[in-house]
Amino acid sequence: MVMTMAAVQEAGRISAGNPTKLIAALTAAFALGQLAGPIVVSLSLPAGNAFTLPSAVAAAFLVCSALALLLTDGDALPKAQQLPHERTS
């Protein structure tokens, strides 16, 4: 829960102007993960590896998202706004 709150705060900080769309996308992605997790676990129960397969799938998604961020070099994200304590002038 703390990571989710931190992500929402960061989305508000980096969004240019109105952060509503970015926060809505984060919320939808979080909800999709909350729905998909139990489904993937229940589908892997007959195979006898209740948590091995879902954990591997989650790790693969994390690696793919990290690679996507590295390959875009942050160009897809809006430029960050400086917080008051980060301003040097």
Q: What is the 3-state secondary structure (H, E, C) of the chain?
A: CHHHHHHHHHHHHHCCCCCHHHHHHHHHHHHHHHHHHHHHHHHHCCCCCCCHHHHHHHHHHHHHHHHHHHHHCCCCCCCCCCCHHHCCC
Length of the chain: 89
Residue 2 banded pLDDT, cuts 50, 70, 90:
confident
Summarised one tens digit per residue, pLDDT across range 40-71 is 778 877 767 667 777 888 899 889 888 887 78
CA gap 70, 83 in Å, rounded: 24
Name the pTM for this structure. Answer: 0.57
